Each structure stands twice: as C-alpha cells, then as structure tokens.
Amino acid sequence: MNPVVTAPILFDVVYRRLMDAIIDCTLLPGQRIVQLELATRLGVSRAPVSHALQVLKHQGLLQDTGKKGLEVASIDPGRVRDFYQVRATLDGFAARMAGERAAAGQLAKQDADHLRRVFAAGLNLGDETAMSRRVQADIDFHRAVYRASGNGAIAEVMDPLWPHIQRAMVLVLEANKLRKQAWRDHRLIMTSILAGDPTLADKTAFSHAVNAGNDTEARLRKSGV
C-alpha cells in the first residue's frame, strides 16, 4: 500500500519545485523542458515529473512546441494586463468587505493581527533580499486582505492567477521607489481596513492594483520578454 500513500506526496513535491522554478524565473520563458534531465536533478522517477508537467501545461505555465516538446510559456503583456484587471476588482472588493467587517466589529482579532504581521514582514525586507522573496511578500499581504474580507472565494479565484502575475513581477520589477510606493499603498489599505473605512480601503486597493498592472505591462513590453 505504500506506493498509493507516497505517490501523491511525491507528485506534490515535484510540482511545487517546478512551479517555484517557473515563478522565480529559474526556468525562464522559452526555456526547453527536458523531462529526463529534470527527473535526474530532482532525484525522482519520470512519472511524477511527467504528471507535474502536464498539470503546469494545463495551467498555462508551460506550452507545447511540437516535436521539441514542452517549454516554459512566454509572458504575454496583454494577458498579464487582463489578470491585473481582474485582480484590481477583487482587491478592491476584498478591502471593502474587510473594512465593513471592521466597522461592524466583526473583523476577527486573529485576522487583523495576521494582516499587521504580514505587512510588517514585507516592509522590513531589505534591498539585499531576493526579488522573488519580495514579490512573495507583496502577494502575502494581498492574501491577508482576502482573509480579512471573510470571503474565501476571493482567494480561490485569485490562486490560479497569482503564478502568472508573480513571474511577470519577478522579471521586470526593480528595487526602487516603486517598491516603496507599493508599501505605502499597502499601509494605507491596511490602516483604512482597521479603521473601518471601507470606501478608502476599496479605492486604494483598486488603484494600487491598476497602477501595478499598468507598470508591469509597460515594463514587459519594453523588455521584450
């Protein structure tokens, strides 16, 4: 019975490793995927690698190139813009709901404390921190807002979009004033929620995502990734 128990766990580990490599751009857009090479590097058989690759292909992170097999999918700036437009609407809605919960005294203390901790952790990351880690901290903050909203469906809708947004951010963002502005926006989103001001929370979260999307799209087009 052991293979039945361990096989899904092995697949999960392989899938997560490959997903992380795509997200942090260890595997770059257009890079060819050699199944046997990956299996050797990961120290596993080809079966879990093959399964993971098919799932990643279904998610649009890998693409079929015919006889050459799979490669890491290219990043379409227009598609990234579409993802950000969806995100902006959901981010604004989540922040509004969280602010309404706070105003009504319904925001759980653990959710409010979690939002504060995630914000502080991201704000305190220095310029020496890897870009992939800083991007993850940004996403962790927005997921904390989703949690504070009390609507679990928001995170469920966003989860498949984050990998596409995340690798675009890793590729084009820089450690500059834009990051400082992002965390100023995060602070205002958080304080608006905790103060029970749903209108300001919604407005700030929405405009934050729109501006981030416009900047990321422009940088992608300029870089020609």
The CATH number for 157's domain is 1.20.120.530
CATH of the domain at 68: 1.10.10.10
Q: What is the mean pLDDT of the chain?
A: 91
Q: Which long-range contacts (CB under 8 A, 24 or more apart) does 24-28 make?
A: 24/130, 24/132, 24/167, 24/170, 25/132, 25/167, 25/170, 25/171, 27/72, 28/72
Are both 136 and 54 inside the same structural domain?
no
Confidence label for 6 from pLDDT (cuts 50, 70 and 90)? low
Are both 83 and 60 inside the same structural domain?
no
Helix, strand, coil shares of the chain, percent, nearest 5, are: 75, 5, 20
* Spatial separation of the C-alpha atoms in residues 196 and 110, rounded to whole Å: 16
Are both 95 and 193 inside the same structural domain?
yes
Q: What is the pLDDT of residues 7-61, one digit of tens each?
A: 568 889 999 999 999 999 899 999 999 999 999 999 999 999 999 999 999 999 9
Are both 105 and 64 inside the same structural domain?
no
Q: Is the pLDDT of residue 3 over 70?
A: no
Are both 63 and 113 inside the same structural domain?
no
Are both 11 and 90 inside the same structural domain?
no
What angle in degrees, to the nearest 10, is found between the helix axes of 77-103 and 198-223?
Answer: 170
User: In the chain, how many domains are there?
Assistant: 2
Q: Is pTM beyond 0.85 here? A: yes
Which residue type is seen at 25?
Answer: C
Report DSSP letters for 129-186, one per residue.
Answer: S-HHHHHHHHHHHHHHHHHHHT-HHHHHHHTTTHHHHHHHHHHH--SSHHHHHHHHHH
The domain of 84 spans 77-223
Are both 112 and 167 inside the same structural domain?
yes
Are both 65 and 82 inside the same structural domain?
no
Q: Is the pLDDT of residue 174 over 70?
A: no
Are both 184 and 161 inside the same structural domain?
yes
Among 72, 106, 125, the domain-final residue is 72
Are both 125 and 174 inside the same structural domain?
yes
Among 55, 72, 89, the domain-final residue is 72
Asked if 51 and 11 touch (Cβ cutoff 8 Å), the reply is yes
Q: What is the pLDDT of residues 60-92, one digit of tens each?
A: 999 998 877 899 999 999 999 999 999 999 999
Q: What is the pLDDT of residues 158-170, one digit of tens each?
A: 999 999 999 999 8
Residue 33 DSSP label: P
Q: Which tokens go with 169?
A: 């951010």
Are both 150 and 205 inside the same structural domain?
yes
Collapsing DSSP to helix, strand or coil, 45 comes out as coil
